[in-house]
């Protein structure tokens, strides 16, 4: 336990408003627990009087993962970083204003804003402090109301044996990256990632893990060093979870990734059954998927095939494959972006629902077929395939209403496994907020997008398809 006081800052301008903040002052250097009660404190501003109210404290993990298989890598050394991620300041705040706001917590080394096109309610970004005491004061602002909006501040944790590398040329060879960093010490593993924006700019990023923290510290000295004709960015790897590392996430996916291939150049009419049939000659297939837009059901022209053994992958990659006269491009599956890098929003309490949303529907699916497919889960009261108002064609999605919530639970268990006309469909609960919370729903993001990462779709686009 520790005692808590409040330090009142001088008035400061953030965006179009002037605010006075009160930063908790702790008697101990370690922020071990949250204060149970600080009362309601007024905040004077030029546009009126606001209040900073402490909310009920609930311990949260940035990412929670469970596994029945022990990681095949040693535990990564980890410590709390001097950087925090934030969200909640006015969206028109600039970098200097963010630095000024958080300087009341302690000396700010740098601040970085993240531009997110679909979020204009609040500014988001990162702030690096000079001391852990300053980080403690910043974390105490989490879940508080400032200028009528909720403030989120979350700690980041750095891996002492791993560095993040950015601005790598697209398609760079891992062995070349390993040779570049081998001068710093023994390299244990390297992962290279691409994104949609990276493909447009010809860049990719990755992680390099060393055998010792000393080697990773040496690698930091290579920041802005030319590599393949361009300067690369080398920083200490940071993540949001404390108990699970990015290498634990990789250990969970490496096995099935070794059995998978990406397939691009698919004709729009090819479904998953046809894709599976084309590649069964190379070995037993456990899963075949054609990526399609969630809201329209249109094929994106690419997918993947997962075999039962890695030997089948080599056979498939050596073959020249065509479907419907169209040549296919086959590649190995790239590493999956670790979940611990992304922010997981706190759960939102919803009212019980008796409705489900179905996405990725083929355009020839009508209400009758949709009812026939889902009536196995329970009594249906309404079925609707969403259609264009003008020409009446299907939009590739629909809704099914059941008579009981139990039927909904049975239906959502078949998400991304149930097939209709050869295509796997997306099944989601059609949530409704409780009536008491609908008046504030517009100020809360509940769609699961990462409020801290710029252009979330570019980092993990699979969530949208």
| 369 and 413, same domain (yes or no) | yes
Residues 365 and 446 in one domain: yes
Q: Which residues pair with 451 in a beta bridge?
A: none
pTM: 0.63
Q: What is the mean pLDDT of the chain?
A: 78
pLDDT at residue 227 tops 90: yes
pLDDT level of residue 460 (50, 70, 90 thresholds)? very low
- Per the structure, the complete domain to which residue 43 belongs is given by 4-72+82-155
Residue 359 · residue 418 · CB < 8 Å: no
- What CA–CA distance (Å, rounded) separates 402 from 381? 5
In the listed set 136, 155, 174, which residue is the last one of a domain according to the structure? 155
SS3 state at 99 = helix
Burial of 124: CB neighbours in 10 Å, binned 0-12, 13-18, 19+: buried
- What digits encode the pLDDT tens for the residues 312-327? 999 999 988 888 888 9
Do both 303 and 368 map to the same domain?
no
| Same domain assignment for residues 361 and 317 | no
pLDDT on residue 15: 53
Q: Does one domain contain both 206 and 164?
A: yes
Looking at the fold, whether 23 and 148 belong to one and the same domain comes out as yes
Lowest model confidence (mean pLDDT) among 17-21, 44-48, 70-74, 415-419 = 44-48
Residue 402 has pLDDT above 90, yes or no: yes
Residue with tokens 């899963």: 287
| CATH number of the domain residue 292 falls in | 3.30.70.330
Which residues lie below 8 Å from residue 241, measured CB to CB, with a gap of 6+? 61, 62, 63, 64, 65, 157, 340
Query: Are residue 11 and residue 93 in the same domain, yes or no?
Result: yes
Do 181 and 308 sit in the same domain of this protein? no
Q: Which residues of 163-193 are buried (b: 16+ CB within 10 A; e: fewer)?
A: bbbebbeeebeeeebeebbeebbebbebbbb
Q: Is 247 exposed, middle or buried (0-12, 13-18, 19+ CB in 10 A)?
A: buried
Q: Are residues 179 and 245 in the same domain?
A: yes
The number of folded domains in the chain is: 4
Is position 332 within any domain?
yes
User: What is the pLDDT at residue 180?
Assistant: 97
Q: Within 10 Å of residue 435's Cβ, how many Cβ atoms? A: 8
Q: How many CB atoms lie within 10 A of CB 374?
A: 23
Question: What DSSP letter does each residue of 418-456 carry, written as one string?
Answer: -EETTEE-EEEE--B--GGGGGGGGGS--S---SSSTTH
Q: Which residue has the tokens 């740098």?
A: 110
283 shares a domain with 241: no
**CA atoms of 359 and 362, how far apart (whole Å):** 9
DSSP at 220: H
228 with 306, same domain? Answer: no
Name the β-bridge partners of 157.
80, 239
Q: Of the residues 340, 369, 384, which one is the last residue of a structural domain?
A: 340
Sheet holding 394-402, edge to edge: 380-387, 394-402, 355-359, 426-429
Residue 194 CA to residue 353 CA, distance in Å, equals 38
Same structural domain, 8 and 143: yes
C-alpha–C-alpha distance, residues 95 and 280, integer Å: 55
In the numeric block, which tokens belong to residue 107? Answer: 């000396």
Positions of E strands within 98-211? 108-114, 123-129, 144-146, 149-169, 187-193, 203-210
Tokens of 47: 């546009």
Mean pLDDT of 280-296: 88
Residue 265 covered by a domain:
yes
Whether the CB-CB separation of 17 and 90 falls below 8 Å is answered with: yes
In a domain? residue 346: no
The reply to whether 345 falls in a domain is no
Q: In this predicted structure, what is the pLDDT of residue 66?
A: 39
Has residue 348 been placed in a domain? Answer: no
The tokens for 417 are 């496994």
End-to-end CA distance of the chain: 47
Confidence of residue 299 (pLDDT cuts 50, 70, 90): confident
From 231, 253, 275, give the residue that closes a domain. 253
Q: Which long-range contacts (CB under 8 A, 24 or more apart) does 318-321 make?
A: 319/282, 321/278, 321/279
Strand residues in 253-345 grouped as ranges (E): 260-264, 285-292, 299-307, 322-323, 326-327, 329-332
**DSSP strand E in 56-143: where?**
78-89, 108-114, 123-129
How does residue 231 score in pLDDT terms, banded at 50, 70 and 90? very high
Q: Is residue 347 part of a domain?
A: no
Whether residue 263 lies inside any domain: the answer is yes
Closest CA to 334 of 174, 215, 106, 200: 174
| Res. 126 pLDDT band, cuts 50 70 90 | very high
In a domain, 350, yes or no: no
């Amino acid at each position: 336990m520790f005692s808590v006081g409040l330090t009142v800052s001088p008035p400061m301008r953030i965006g179009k408003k002037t605010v006075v903040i009160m930063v908790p002052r702790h008697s101990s250097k370690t922020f071990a627990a949250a204060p149970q009660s600080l009362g309601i404190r007024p905040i004077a501003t030029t546009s009126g009087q606001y209040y900073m109210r402490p909310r009920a404290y609930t311990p949260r993990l940035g990412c929670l993962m469970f596994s029945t298989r022990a990681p095949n890598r040693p535990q990564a050394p980890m410590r709390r970083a001097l950087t925090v991620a934030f969200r909640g300041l006015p969206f028109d705040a600039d970098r200097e204003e963010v630095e000024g706001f958080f300087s009341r917590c302690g000396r700010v080394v740098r601040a970085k804003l993240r531009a997110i096109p679909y979020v204009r309610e609040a500014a988001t970004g990162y702030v690096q402090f000079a001391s852990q005491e300053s980080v403690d004061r910043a974390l105490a602002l989490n879940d508080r109301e400032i200028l009528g909006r909720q403030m989120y501040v979350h700690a980041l944790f750095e891996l002492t044996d791993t560095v993040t590398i950015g601005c790598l040329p697209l398609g760079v060879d891992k062995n070349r990256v390993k040779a570049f960093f081998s001068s710093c010490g023994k390299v244990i593993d390297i992962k290279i990632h691409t994104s949609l924006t990276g493909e447009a700019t010809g860049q990719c990023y990755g992680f390099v893990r060393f055998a010792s923290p000393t080697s990773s510290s040496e690698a930091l000295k290579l920041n802005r060093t030319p590599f393949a004709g361009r300067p690369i960015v080398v920083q200490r790897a940071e993540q949001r979870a404390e108990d699970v590392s990015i290498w634990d996430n990789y250990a969970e996916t490496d096995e099935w990734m070794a059995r998978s291939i990406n397939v691009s150049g698919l004709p729009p009419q090819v479904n998953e059954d046809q894709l599976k049939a084309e590649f069964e000659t190379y070995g037993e297939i456990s899963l075949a998927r054609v990526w399609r837009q969630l809201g329209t059901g249109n094929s994106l022209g690419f997918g993947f095939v997962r075999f039962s053994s890695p030997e089948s992958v080599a056979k498939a990659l050596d073959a020249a494959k065509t479907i419907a006269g169209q040549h296919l491009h086959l590649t190995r599956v790239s590493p999956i972006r670790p979940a611990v890098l992304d922010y997981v929003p706190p759960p939102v309490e919803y009212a019980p629902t008796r409705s489900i949303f179905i996405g990725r529907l083929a355009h020839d699916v009508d209400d009758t077929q949709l009812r026939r497919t889902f009536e196995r889960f329970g009594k249906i009261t309404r079925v609707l395939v969403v259609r264009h108002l003008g020409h009446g064609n299907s939009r590739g999605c629909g809704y099914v209403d059941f008579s009981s919530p139990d039927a909904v639970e049975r239906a959502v268990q078949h998400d991304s496994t149930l097939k209709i006309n050869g295509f796997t469909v997306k099944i989601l609960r059609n949530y409704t907020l409780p009536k008491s919370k609908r008046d504030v729903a517009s100020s809360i993001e509940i769609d699961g997008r990462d409020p801290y990462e710029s252009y979330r779709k570019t980092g993990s686009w699979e969530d949208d398809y």
